[in-house]
Structure 1
Amino acid sequence: MIAIARKYLSSLCLNPNSFLCCSNLHFIPSIHFFSTARAKRFIIPSPEIYDVLVHNHQFSPELAAHASSRLPKFRSPERADSILSFLKENSFTTTQLQKLVIYNPRILGFTIEGFKSRLKVFQDLGLSSKEIAKIISSNQRILHSCMANKVIPSLSMLNALLGSNEEVARLLKKCSWFLTHDLEKTLMPNVEILKSCSIPMERIIYFLHSHPRNFLVKSDIMRKSVDRAIRFGVPHTSAVFIQAPGVLSYTSEGMWEVKLKTLRDLGFSDDDIFTMFRKQPSVFSASVKTMKNKIELLLATGKYNVSNIVTYPTALGCSIEKRLDPRMQTLRLLESKNLIQKWPSLSTVITFTDDRFFDKFIRPYYDNIGEENITKIFVRRQKEMNL
């Protein structure tokens, strides 16, 4: 096995471009792995580590070559094998292990005792091994953050804020970034900003669980975004209040103006725009192109106008391919065959589940519509959903 690995790796060494040109490079996350300092010297992959990764743990040859080349001084395939085997025993899947190794192959040099102590911190929160594996693989920085100075203090702050390990675990399952961000500069001051707006702590905790990443922006950005949301008239008591500063935090003023201009060009007044924003801020997080395409699709039916969209802006949060277009096509077909005299309201079209929409607008007219037309509109889509 090692001989085969050496032969494969030798071909890579003789032709440095062969690795860079391989078709599977999409798994490499960033230029982080190819620093200028490393680029100045050629690193020979370790065939022993390569063999362990490929034959013992089902890594692709490209990933194995990449990982082993990052460890030129590390010559302990036994440790690499034991670490990966230990993590597998603790519910890490092959895909999750690959994510960890992609981020930093040096985990292959960690000790099992070191891993055990890190995992125990999460086990003490009541998290299962599968949940821990998912949390760590979704935020690989956790393994490289200092437990004493970073992870444990963050957990303590979260516990003090949320009141129990169970609530901390619930939050981390949704967003593990709280363990690797500076909570003293993001979460804690952002909570105080919302409290200063007379928002009760219970609602802030609700917001934290429903939109956790909105709390991880810098506090000065949060303050500006909250002030703008208030100026736009988003009520503090609204269930969607936290969405507004969240959208504004991640939208530059220049891009915001582009979105406003696009909506105005499509026939929306400023009052219409801010009414939609107050009702459903999240639809403004879409790209200009996506927002424009959805509006144009609805207006092109001739059945729904700007006023309908302003009344029910949630429609702009629906997928064109999965919901809007198939349903518009269905209603257009029914109308062309005189099977309906009037189109349903936009809210009805959007809120119905697929099954309910089928029962209401397809099943009664199945024979009239024709199986071929139904297949074109729905069966293909259902197959896509099941993939």
Structure 2
Amino acid sequence: MSVMFGFLCSRQLLALKHRRTHLGFLQQNGFFIVKSFTSVGLPESNQKPDEEKKHSFAMSYLINSCGLPAKSAILASQRVLFQSPERPDSVLNLFKENGFSNDQISHIVRKHPPILLSDLEKTLLPKIELLRSIGVSSSDVITILTSNPFLFKSSIKKYLIPCYDFLKSVLLVDEKVLKIFKRSSRFFLSNVTNTIAPNIALLRQLGAPPSTISFLAFSLRRYVGWKTCNILTSNSFVS
């Protein structure tokens, strides 16, 4: 409850900072140069179909503004279509304002192109602020979200906070929860009720003390999300 309260308070304060235009960002950084097709002024008779124009614009933007190689841009443009730079510009601006480097932004966009069309205040900012509110350093926030940008689309109420609270109750020490966030962030993309909780319940039924459960959950975290039948039959647990 305290995590949610502190998080919501910080949201109200930090949201004010970002309720302004993000235009002009690309002009200040040589790496990000937008070449908008809207300024080219193609003859009316040569206009492409709407879908093809969106694809061409997106591919150009991915190369010129996000630093993707041509081959990666072609693949990425099949997953995200747009013909206006406003929303993508604001997303790139948000990342830069929060300390992400050009290479990190390029990596995020390459792994998850639809992120360019994300809502800043509903999708992106809440994840950054949540990580900070639970004690993750700014540099680690960047590392976590760069390595696993799919966390941006994970629900805070359904997955991130419940998973954090559950792991905190099991691992007992905050530092261990943060280490799992940094090393095994895919945990926070799962529904703990259906994955982690049954295995912890099994350990308790077998009479394992809290300290042992905490040790196993942290040391063998890549197995904790398995189905209980897989854990019991896995050769990895045979000495």
Q: Give the TM-score band, short-chain normalised.
A: 0.5 to 0.7
The residue type paired with residue 76 of structure 1 is: S
Deviation at residue 89 of structure 1 after TM alignment: 3.0
| Counterpart-to-counterpart distance in 2, 1:171 and 1:190 | 17
Deviations 1:83-119 (A, max 9, x none): 1232133233444434432343221111222311121
Instruction: Report matched runs for 1:207-356 at 5 Å.
Output: 207-225=216-234, 244-245=236-237, 278=239
Does residue 106 of the first structure (1) align with residue 95 of the second (2)? no
**Aligned match for 2:93, one of 82, 85, 89:** 85
The residue type paired with residue 190 of structure 2 is: H
**Aligned match for 2:194, one of 173, 177, 185:** 185
| Counterpart-to-counterpart distance in 2, 1:69 and 1:185 | 33
User: Using a 3 Å threshold, how does the CA distance of structure 1 residues 209 and 95 change in structure 2: closer, same or farther?
Assistant: farther
Instruction: Report matched runs for 1:107-186 at 5 Å.
Output: 107-114=115-122, 115-163=124-172, 165-186=174-195
Root-mean-square deviation over aligned CA pairs: 2.9
**Aligned match for 2:59, one of 50, 63, 82:** 50
| Counterpart-to-counterpart distance in 2, 1:162 and 1:130 | 23
Deviates more, 1:125-134 or 1:93-102: 93-102
The residue type paired with residue 189 of structure 2 is: T
Deviation at residue 210 of structure 1 after TM alignment: 2.2
| Counterpart-to-counterpart distance in 2, 1:54 and 1:186 | 39
User: Using a 3 Å threshold, how does the CA distance of structure 1 residues 130 and 43 change in structure 2: closer, same or farther?
Assistant: farther
SS at match of 2:77: helix
The residue type paired with residue 146 of structure 1 is: S
CA contact (8 A) 2:72 2:110 kept: yes
The residue type paired with residue 169 of structure 1 is: L
Question: Highest relative contact order (Cα 8 Å, sep 6+), 1 or 2?
Answer: 2
| Larger Cα-atom Rg | 1
User: Using a 3 Å threshold, how does the CA distance of structure 1 residues 96 and 210 change in structure 2: closer, same or farther?
Assistant: farther
The residue type paired with residue 71 of structure 2 is: E
SS at match of 1:81: helix
**Aligned match for 1:97, one of 105, 111, 132:** 105
| Counterpart-to-counterpart distance in 2, 1:156 and 1:213 | 18
Deviations 1:153-208 (A, max 9, x none): 22222222233544321221121121112222222221232333443321221222
Deviation at residue 43 of structure 1 after TM alignment: 5.3
Task: Calculate the TM-score normalised by the size of structure 1.
Answer: 0.44
CA contact (8 A) 2:158 2:191 kept: no
| Counterpart-to-counterpart distance in 2, 1:151 and 1:142 | 9
CA contact (8 A) 2:171 2:215 kept: no
Moved >6 Å (runs of 4+): none
What does residue 205 of structure 1 align with? 214
Deviations 1:189-248 (A, max 9, x none): 2123233344332122122222211111112222344xxx7xxxxxxxxxxxxxx33xxx
Deviation at residue 124 of structure 1 after TM alignment: 0.8
Deviation at residue 45 of structure 1 after TM alignment: 4.8
SS at match of 2:190: coil
Task: Calculate the TM-score normalised by the size of structure 2.
Answer: 0.68
What does residue 76 of structure 1 align with? 84
User: Using a 3 Å threshold, how does the CA distance of structure 1 residues 172 and 71 change in structure 2: closer, same or farther?
Assistant: closer
User: Using a 3 Å threshold, how does the CA distance of structure 1 residues 71 and 170 change in structure 2: closer, same or farther?
Assistant: closer
| Counterpart-to-counterpart distance in 2, 1:105 and 1:189 | 34
| Counterpart-to-counterpart distance in 2, 1:69 and 1:162 | 42
SS at match of 1:183: coil
| Counterpart-to-counterpart distance in 2, 1:156 and 1:43 | 46
Deviations 1:61-99 (A, max 9, x none): 222333334333x22213212212321332334444344
Structure 1, unaligned runs of 5 or more: 7-41, 230-243, 246-276, 279-387
Structure 2, unaligned runs of 5 or more: 1-34, 41-50
